[in-house]
Amino acid sequence: MMAAAAASLWRGSAWQQWRYRIVERFSVSQTNIVQVAGYRWCLITSRGFHSTVYNPNEKTFDKILIANRGEIVCRVIKTCKKMGIKTVAIHSDVDSNAVHVKMADEAVCVGPAPTSKSYLNMDAIMEAIKKTQAQAVHPGYGFLSENKEFSKRLASEGVVFIGPDMHAIQAMGDKIESKLLAKNAKVNTIPGYDGVIKDADEAVRIAREIGYPVMIKASAGGGGKGMRVAWSDEEAREGFRFSSQEAASSFGDERLLIEKFIDNPRHIEIQILADKHDNALWLNERECSIQRRNQKVIEEAPSTFLDPGTRKAMGEQAVALARAVKYSSAGTVEFLVDSNKNFYFLEMNTRLQVEHPITECITGLDLVQEMIRVAKGYPLRHKQADIPINGWAVECRVYAEDPYKSFGLPSIGRLSQYEEPLQVPNVRVDSGIQQGSEISIYYDPMISKLITYGSNRNEALQRMEEALDNYVIRGVTHNIALLREVIKHPRFIQGDISTKFLPEVYTEGFKGHRLKDSEKMELLVIAVSLYMAERLRSQSFLGVPRISLAKPNTKNWELCVQLGDTTHSVVASCQESIFFVEVNGRKFCVTGEWNLASAVLSLQVDNVQRTVQWLSRDADGNLSIQFLGTVYKLRVLTKLAAELSKYMQEKVTKDTTSMIRAPMPGVVVAISIKPGDTVAVGQEICAIEAMKMQNSLPAGKTGKVKAVYCKIGDTVAEGDKLAELE
């Protein structure tokens, strides 16, 4: 039957050059070996949304070392296992119990926590390769993935680099050289300065010549690291300093370039795939315009904005650029697209992109497998006409960040509870963590990439909403509230977006979901029902009533529920796990499965389905509930307790403008003041580096510096005192 299914796929598929299509879905539940036309094929079936071929008779490598950490290592390992390839993981000492270490066949420690001493430590990684006798290295993204010296050292040892050749890394990984090559290949480019910026004075001079605003960015690397927009001479000087420091920290290369900043652009990129036999394809586009601090937050494929003609023109220019440098492997050509669909070359990433899963969803290709095949010397199996746009895919980057602070300042901590929403149809979670994992200050704060797929955009977004509601993350602050608000915003739904979406939509910063009157009533009713359900549960044990000094009145409950500054009077009752709640004269019925031990509760308020997470509660009636993505704090009290609470003294709010505290955990990298100095509002006090990003901390008021409580190199926690004004 399996053989018949494979043969049927071969006969009926439009991709007939694929000898047989084997359905692969991400959480593998069943593996079958079938024989068709004399070949043995691995047929893997389960939940997911892309199809690819894994032919065990096609020899590639016996063992691959993955020079990275976290989710991308786990992602590469999954494909290697399906291809029958053994894997080696590297790790720092703090990552010794990481998921990617446990998944690999072998693991080698390459140094202490700082990236410069571990994941960027070429000597230690080369030693790990020799020790494990790995034949090839997959670099993932970031770290050494676009480092020409690393590629050169691998070649000198006869180890295959699963990526482009060294000359392509040098040409396209360097933003300055790649821009010159793009011009020669007749690719549209942004006006700017193509040389290396020597110092802050030269940065100001060049910025003036180009005309503000300008983008100052690292010549090597990507991912938003080492990038600043400058609108004035002062910002150009500051941008030069921070960008060069971030670039040196993240990529070991502090060189910068400057180019014209295009206002209100879309960030749209083209995925390419090329082999060593002069074959090159473009695999459609990804829309990556939802960003904060020049880092992508939400991506989708395809884009709502491109028409077939523009898509084709962008794809052809991307392939022309790849051919110009004899590119081989997977890569991405990034463009800025203005409102008139004029597009300009931004940069080329000579590696696998973070957001590659959404391309896999709509094309059916496994990009990691294609990279491995190309690195071994096999030609591509597909032609340009065979690449489809099948359905729609959306990816949300779930970060350990506080979205209420500059759309996301890093958060650290241990994941006390973690449950991925795999019960939602057509969801994929690429993660490298598990319950008990620690998010530290040393690395990127990404928890996972959450991907949903649908036959159309509407369906993909609906599944994303459901997945975000069912995603359980406890122990660190996360950005699920921001992600959910963006995908539900009318502008996003209409496709009216740009790289300025977040600051334009949330002009005063992100404040969470703004409840409509009907939603507020639903939240109040849910809070009361949860309060009652717990009180009723506490009155019995294993179905047997507990001994009580006073018989509880479960017929009618007279309560008060506080949300913000407003208190609402409530009358409620319960009949056979159905709660009847009257708030301010309005009556509601709440039903559901009242398993209070579950992290996620599915409830119906007057037949409106709601998914909530009950995060915390205490003996004083304080509840914390995640509702519509946002966490709300409420208080449910009996009528008597509410009356007595009026006599409690209120806490006096302290003036905190004199104290400068760390808004996030990190390392102090600069101190701009000393005791006795006079500072103005907005003047820099110090700078903190957290998770490879530098953040300037300004004074909250004008005054004289009373004390400085930190020094350069100190590791600080969120809330630690850094300096104080008189």
pLDDT in tens, 142-153: 999 999 999 999
Band (537; pLDDT cuts 50, 70, 90): confident
Which of 54-68, 250-264, 292-306, 348-362 is predicted with the least confidence, judged by mean pLDDT? 250-264
Handedness of CA 454, 460, 462, 463 (dihedral sign): positive
Is the Cβ–Cβ distance between 254 and 248 less than 8 Å? yes
pLDDT in tens, 42-81: 333 233 444 577 888 899 999 999 999 999 999 999 999 9
pLDDT at 692: 65
pLDDT at 13: 36
pLDDT at 108: 98
Percent over 90 (pLDDT), the chain: 62
pLDDT at 706 over 70: yes
pLDDT in tens, 184-229: 999 999 888 867 788 899 999 999 988 888 988 876 655 566 778 8
Is the Cβ–Cβ distance between 249 and 689 less than 8 Å? yes
Which bin fits 208, alpha (ψ -120 to 50), beta or left (φ > 0)?
alpha
pLDDT at 398: 98
Which of 305-319, 361-375, 568-582 is predicted with the least confidence, judged by mean pLDDT? 568-582
Please enumerate, as own/partner, the contacts of 515-520 that have beta carbons within 8 Å and a separation of 24 or more: 515/628, 519/627, 519/628, 520/563
**pLDDT (mean) for 544-565:** 69
- Is 347 among the residues known to form the active site? yes
> 359 or 13: whose pLDDT is higher?
359
**pLDDT (mean) for 8-13:** 35
pLDDT at 103: 97
The packing angle between helices 200-210 and 233-251, to 10°, is 120
Beta strands 63-66 and 136-138: pairing type? parallel
Beta strands 343-349 and 392-399: pairing type? unpaired
CB burial of residue 419 (10 Å; 0-12, 13-18, 19+): middle
**pLDDT (mean) for 263-271:** 92
**pLDDT (mean) for 579-604:** 92
Which of 33-47, 291-305, 323-337, 475-489 is predicted with the least confidence, judged by mean pLDDT? 33-47
Please provide the size of the chain in residues.
726
pLDDT at 386 over 50: yes
**pLDDT (mean) for 149-158:** 96
Band (83; pLDDT cuts 50, 70, 90): very high
Is the Cβ–Cβ distance between 428 and 453 less than 8 Å? yes
Which of 5-9, 173-177, 239-243, 533-537 is predicted with the least confidence, judged by mean pLDDT? 5-9
pLDDT at 31: 33
pLDDT at 695 over 70: yes
Which of 81-90, 154-163, 421-430, 589-598 is predicted with the least confidence, judged by mean pLDDT? 589-598
pLDDT at 2: 38
pLDDT at 7: 36
**pLDDT (mean) for 513-537:** 93
pLDDT in tens, 328-369: 999 999 999 988 898 999 999 999 999 999 999 999 999 999
**pLDDT (mean) for 662-671:** 87
Mean pLDDT score of the chain:
87
pLDDT at 222: 58
Band (484; pLDDT cuts 50, 70, 90): very high
The packing angle between helices 308-324 and 175-184, to 10°, is 110
Which of 65-69, 180-184, 268-272 is predicted with the least confidence, judged by mean pLDDT? 180-184
Percent over 70 (pLDDT), the chain: 88
Contacts of residue 508, Cβ cutoff 8 Å, sequence gap at least 6: none
**pLDDT (mean) for 366-380:** 97
Beta strands 693-698 and 684-690: pairing type? antiparallel
Q: Which of 238, 246, 347, 465 is catalytic?
A: 347
